[in-house]
């Protein structure tokens, strides 16, 4: 990974502890930008003005459905923070409780740095 500043976009109202995590982890230089709307944040990743969208609090599946379709159509990735595809099936909960990571590239590299800390990132304290 190049040593250039990268941008992580997070929820304006539900940022959790992402900024602290990125500044105290093995991630390179990251700038955290806040914004509203999961679709808008996914589009920032899609158009290259953000390197990743990371969400660490509960989020309704209907807020992720369209962004997931658009990102996947553009050969990007949307998974939970465990690296699993988010299920939009009719069975089960309407809430995703395992966080969200959206990227156009280096998805599994970022996940490899997130997964060891996922329980701290997802803690509700």
What does the alpha-carbon distance between residue 72 and residue 91 come to, in Å, rounded to a whole number?
22
Task: At 57, list the tokens.
Answer: 């609090």
Tell whether 82 is in a known binding site.
no
What does the alpha-carbon distance between residue 55 and residue 97 come to, in Å, rounded to a whole number?
10
What does the alpha-carbon distance between residue 125 and residue 123 come to, in Å, rounded to a whole number?
6
Binding-site residues from annotation for Mg(2+): 63
Q: What residues form the annotated binding site?
A: 63
């Amino acid at each position: 990974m190049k040593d250039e500043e990268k941008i992580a976009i997070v929820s304006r109202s539900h940022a959790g502890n992402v900024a602290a995590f990125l500044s105290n982890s093995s991630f390179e230089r990251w700038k955290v930008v806040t914004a509203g709307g999961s679709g808008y944040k996914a589009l920032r990743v899609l158009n290259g003005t953000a390197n990743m969208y990371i969400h660490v609090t509960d989020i309704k599946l209907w807020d992720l459905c369209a962004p997931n379709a658009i990102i996947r159509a553009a050969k990007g990735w949307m998974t939970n923070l465990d690296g699993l595809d988010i299920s939009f099936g009719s069975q089960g909960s309407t809430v995703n409780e395992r966080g969200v990571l959206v990227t156009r590239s280096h998805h599994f590299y970022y996940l490899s740095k997130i997964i060891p800390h996922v329980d701290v990132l997802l803690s509700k304290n």
